[in-house]
Structure 1
Amino acid sequence: MRLAIAEINLQALAHNLAQVRQFAPNSKVMAVLKANAYGHGLVKIAQHLNDADAFAVARIDEALALRAGGLTKPIVLLEGFFHQDDLPILLANNFQTIIHDENQLRALENAKLDAPISCWLKINTGMHRLGVAPTQLNDFYQRLQATNNAKDTINLMTHFSSADDVNDPKTAEQIALFDSLVQGKQQAHCLANSAGIIAWPAGHGEWVRPGLMMYGVSPMLNTSGKDHQLKPVMRLTTKVIAIRDVDAAQGVGYGGSWQSTQPTKLAVVAMGYGDGYPRHAKHGTPVVIAGKRYGIAGNISMDMISVDIGENADGIKVGDEVVMWGPELPVEEIAQCADTISYELLCNIAPRVSYEYQR
């Protein structure tokens, strides 16, 4: 009997990509696949995103894995390259690179390449992570146009810092700054991440970069994917491996931090932080067994979690399926219970979890 399983719903994936098109009908879609496609399986997910116009990853090894998996769409390296020796690899595999600092630009200018590389120039409009300063833009832009190692079309990009909050004026300020900086530069523009796609249509540009929303999870504060007509792609499940009787006032799990107020039964389920489930999930964090919610009792262990199923146990038995998150139980809710974000939960799925891809 297999225990921890991540069921990946490929129809939900296609639905979510279609929703991206609904939100940004006039933009091309650069599907973001970094961090193993947000924990969903890099190559498998890419193979089922035929309607995307391009892929985006963080690092060159992710891009190479896509090419090894037979993917031929354009691939953009969101962090760019890290050494001049990477440039022939980019050229040979038709990778597009972000240019975001002087070291990258100088390396590109000094390289000896047989053909030019497609480049995106990233502008720091307020995220203060990667990107050239607004005062540097024209110099970088002109140098990229001048070098034979960059294609003539220099695309322009930025990244939003607070697009998940519709009440924060920062995103509107970033859009306005970007628009003012790129006036007269007719190349393709790319501003919007998932939150920008949903909430900030003025920032859609010629390209959008959906990440989290493609996997059916809300990028917005205090909402679920369902609120934006998205469908969860991952359903994380396991099995009940034991049922235990516990008297009142007995501590459960490491440290005995949870105590029942009355005699009850516990379902021990095969899931823990060794599978990627958040160790800091609070007592009472829900799971679903036989269509009903029950709360976690005690601290999360490496391989097991105890669940309070009540004195009558509702007929629950060893071998029953337990849903840790999925369509029945939004991952956004589990993230709140663990004081973290959905991104981290999805990306932390451990290698020992089995994946099942369902059409």
Structure 2
Amino acid sequence: MARPLVADIDLDALRHNYALARELAGESQALAVIKADAYGHGAVACARALESLPQGKRPPAFAVACLEEAETLRRGGIESPVVLLEGIFEADELSRVEALGLWVAVHSEWQVQALLAYRPAEPIPVWLKVDSGMHRLGFSPEHAPAVWERLAAATEQVAGLQLMSHFATADAVNSSYFSRQLACMQALSRRLGAALCLSNSPATLAWPDSHGAWVRPGVMLYGSDPLEQPSEVSRRLRPVMTLRSEIIAVRDLAVGEPVGYAGRWRAPRPSRIAVVACGYGDGYDRHAVDGTPVLVAGQRTGLAGKVSMDMLTVDITDIPEADIGTEVVLWGRSRHGAVLSVDEVARYCDTISYTLLTGILPRVPRCYSRLD
């Protein structure tokens, strides 16, 4: 019998979440961001599920971080346009960009020079990245117009020129900094007559004034709520990944008996402890504290003791029916119908859902199915 830990991927939930993004986008087009192996869900499988939607409901393009991720999609048979959000890392990558039919972001002068020196058979769609306040990648708003004019004039190399930027505080309930970034980009768009792509997941969910010509939902596609405070809209998201395992052993402990490395957790009463096949060697966060929620037979209980490499332990004292083989859900949807949000688990680990989802390691099988 195989080790019981699996990551169930509900592709219907993925399609539902993308449909919500399209609904919120209104007249804007919605990229589907599937970088980092679709946030740990499997980029090719997720792209196929979205690309198979009916015409008019499927993504007009996907977005990834780098050429290698785009090549994986093309090898997997994905034919839709793919945007390289970080552009090229070396000038000689442009030949692969052209061969694969990719769209490319430019955020640095050397990338502009490499592109203008290249001679493609057909112009390459380009997205000019502006640093409106995130202070990572992009040209300053003052410098961007001159770069835009150079790219717009290079009709042999450049097609479909767009403006893009990234919000630093779109998840906040109230943010003057968000408003400042938005005003900067809207002014630049008016000046240049340029189409805008600004809205990440939280802006797609909560800031319709920012949607522009394109939105680019990412983590929301996978059912994680990126907002500082959940909204009526964000509560409509459905979890795509369920990290599911089983109890593999049960221990009865007397009051005061310790569990796990360093004996961090001690039984406050006569206790039943379940050993679960899942650990940090699978990508479950080692920083999870005692009481981090899990679902056992669809009922909430908590972690008891430090996470080990291949196992973790939970308190099942109040779940008498739990025994070897009982389902344990680390996050996602239980077969009993209960749901445990990955966002809630992340808070107990002092992190965000992105790190949990992208951290699930290859030894955990991904099972693609519709969950009943």
Moved more, 42-51 or 106-115: 106-115
Among 67, 74, 89, the residue aligned to 2:74: 67
Are the counterparts in 1 of residues 253 and 272 from structure 2 also a CA contact under 8 Å?
yes
Q: Is 1:252 matched up with 2:253?
A: no
Shift in Å, 1:225 = 9.2
Moved more, 251-260 or 147-156: 147-156
Structure 2: runs of 5+ lacking an equivalent: 52-57, 334-338
TM-score by length of 1: 0.96
Are the counterparts in 1 of residues 11 and 369 from structure 2 also a CA contact under 8 Å?
yes
- Cα distance in 2 for partners of 1:316, 1:152 equals 60
Aligned to 1:58: 65
Shift in Å, 1:126 = 0.4
Are the counterparts in 1 of residues 173 and 229 from structure 2 also a CA contact under 8 Å?
no
Query: For residues 82-121 of structure 1, what are the structure 2 equivalents within 5 Å?
Result: 82-121=89-128
Are the counterparts in 1 of residues 285 and 349 from structure 2 also a CA contact under 8 Å?
yes
Q: Post-superposition, which runs of at least 4 consecutive aligned residues in structure 1 deviate over 6 A?
A: none
Q: Is 1:329 matched up with 2:336?
A: no
**In 2 relative to 1, CA 149–282 (structure 1 residues): closer, same or farther, beyond 3 Å?**
farther
Structure 1: runs of 5+ lacking an equivalent: none
Q: Is 1:137 matched up with 2:148?
A: no
Are the counterparts in 2 of residues 190 and 209 from structure 1 also a CA contact under 8 Å?
yes
Among 326, 329, 351, the residue aligned to 1:340: 351
The DSSP-based 3-state class of the residue aligned with 1:105 is helix
The DSSP-based 3-state class of the residue aligned with 1:205 is coil
Query: For residues 14-53 of structure 1, what are the structure 2 equivalents within 5 Å?
Result: 14-50=15-51, 51-53=58-60
Shift in Å, 1:148 = 4.5
Query: For residues 103-252 of structure 1, what are the structure 2 equivalents within 5 Å?
Result: 103-223=110-230, 227-252=234-259
- Cα distance in 2 for partners of 1:72, 1:152 equals 19
**In 2 relative to 1, CA 91–219 (structure 1 residues): closer, same or farther, beyond 3 Å?**
same
Among 284, 303, 327, the residue aligned to 2:310: 303
TM-score by length of 2: 0.93
Shift in Å, 1:223 = 2.8
Which residue identity lines up with residue 362 of structure 2 in the other structure? P
Among 320, 337, 359, the residue aligned to 2:326: 320
**In 2 relative to 1, CA 152–14 (structure 1 residues): closer, same or farther, beyond 3 Å?**
closer
**In 2 relative to 1, CA 210–227 (structure 1 residues): closer, same or farther, beyond 3 Å?**
closer
Identity fraction in percent: 46
Which residue identity lines up with residue 254 of structure 1 in the other structure? Y
Residue-pair matches, total:
358
The DSSP-based 3-state class of the residue aligned with 1:81 is coil
